[in-house]
Structure 1
Amino acid sequence: MADKTETFAPGAAQLETLARAALARIPEPFAAHLADVVLVIEEFADDAILAEMGIEDPFELTGLYSGRPVGEKSSFDVMAMPDTIHLYRRPLLDEWCDTGVSLEALITHVVVHEVGHHLGLSDDDMHALEDAAG
């Protein structure tokens, strides 16, 4: 009897594993600023986030950084919410299917982009960081 193998879309835990691996490849001195960043995997961005960003189609947002960039932090900040990188599973899987890019490369791209927002980097700096973390 043949071995029956079933294949399913990667779940939140699998995406988190890929995202944490991408974070682990971020080189110093940038990595030193990531210790307190929270990583959250959700199916989609909530309606309030989408409305705030002017996005009607929830599949258009694959990731989001929420918090204050490192260069804007102050010792006077009181009880701030933790810096958070949100990854949205369903839009990521949709983009993965549409583009043919490996899931690892896509997750790395989105994670590095959100890390770039955390660090206050320019788009050119984000591309260089992605090359270093790839």
Structure 2
Amino acid sequence: MAAPDQPADLPADRAPSAAVIEEIALATLEALPAEFRAHLGDVVLIVEDLADADTLTVLGIDHPLDLTGLYHGRPLGEKSSSESGAPPDRIHLYRRAILDEWIDTDVGLHELVAHVMIHEIGHHFGLSDDDMHALEDAVA
């Protein structure tokens, strides 16, 4: 049996690919209010199967399926024009951890990917958890 909210074009016996996760994440970006989208053009989206061991160690996470997404960068409010040459801000989505949570919960895949994406976008803007929830509600 397929997990809830199985993408229509995906065979029931196949897990969604990184491309499917990326497509949902990009659709989430497009659904954001214009004032948010205007400040996300330089943020790089990366979809990987799992976080690497170094990332997990730095974050104090024991198991790679416990991390669904991660923002690498400094929140907009903390940036300075003197930071030229810094690597671009990045949002990492971890496909296998997302799929594991998708299967273990009643949350649909689109809703789950959007939730993780908005949470990481929230870190880019330095938003509180309440602000992240409000942004998620605005996109829904």
Q: TM-score, normalised by structure 2?
A: 0.90
Structure 2 match to 1:70? 76
Please name the residue that 2:122 is paired with.
116
Task: Give CA deviations for 1:4-46 in whole Å, capped at 9, x if unaligned.
Answer: x663000001110001001111113111111111000000000
Aligned-partner Cα distance in 2 for 1:39–1:80: 17
1:103 maps to amino acid: L
Matched, 1:7 2:13: yes
Partner Cα distance (1:56, 1:6) in 2: 31
1:121 counterpart SS class: coil
Looking at structure 2, the residues matched to 91 and 130 of structure 1 have their Cα atoms a distance apart, in angstroms, of: 20
Where does residue 49 of structure 1 map in the other structure?
55
**Per-residue displacement from partner, 1:102-124 (whole Å, max 9, x unpaired)?**
00000000000000000000111
1:78, distance to aligned residue in structure 2 (A): 2.5
- Cα RMSD of the aligned pairs, angstroms, is 1.0
Q: Look up the SS of the partner of 2:118 in the other structure.
A: helix
Residue among 13, 24, 27 paired with 2:30? 24
The structure number with the bigger radius of gyration is 1
Q: What CA distance in whole angstroms lies between the structure 2 residues aligned with 1:89 and 1:17?
A: 12
SS at match of 1:65: strand
Q: CA deviation at 1:74?
A: 0.7
Q: Classify 1:6/1:106 alpha carbon distance in 2 versus 1 (closer, same or farther; 3 Å).
A: closer
Counterpart of 1:95? 101
Q: How many residues align?
A: 130
After TM superposition, where is structure 1 displaced by more than 4 Å over at least 4 residues in a row?
none
Relative distance call for 1:43 and 1:76 in structure 2 (3 A) is same
Structure 2 CA distance for partners of 1:6 and 1:124, relative to 1, 3 Å: closer
Q: Percent identity?
A: 58
Q: Secondary structure at the match of 2:91?
A: strand
Q: Are residues 1:104 and 2:104 paired? A: no
